Amino acid sequence: MGRKIILGVTGSIAAYKAAELASLFVKNGDEVHVVMTRAACEFISPLTFRTISRNPVAVDEFAEPAEWKPGHISLAELADVVVVAPATANTIAKMRFGIADNLLLSTLLATRAPVLVAPAMNNGMWENPVTRENIAALAARGVKVIEPDDGRLACGTSGKGRLPDPVRIFDAARKLGK
């Protein structure tokens, strides 16, 4: 039996690539539970992930939980590994400072599972000293960070900031946890 993967999807144009990542986990025999930010839902539908994972998709932190525990606690305890892909600069900054203002961030704050972050953003945002400090702080706390790829970005510029290939993220996640 595979592992229990929490896949956090944030509001980036690269969110569509997270569907391929979810599929890779499912094909590997992993149980995938997707947590989407509201901004992610602007780029890709929860239905896509529900269909791929064959599990409900969590978006609303105030939805009635299926069990007595709050949703973020259930997800945090369920996880063998938490993967955030794509991870926006906003989410990375909030992770660094422990801000838990959505279901994904609350889950990240509560989990004891290994966490893998795959950033995706404009190259200027990636190169900004604030983002670099946030990444370094997370890495110092044990969060595994995959460097973004170099190439053409959705905003029309080129540089480092593309979401890493889903196979690369999948391979990195397989090395974490159990």
Report d(CA 176, CA 26) in Å as an integer.
17
Q: Which of 130, 136, 154, 155 is catalytic?
A: 155
Judge contact between 143 and 150, C-beta under 8 A. no
Q: Is 156 left (phi over 0), alpha (psi -120 to 50) or beta?
A: left
Catalytic residue status for 41:
no
Report d(CA 149, CA 107) in Å as an integer.
27
Catalytic residues: 155
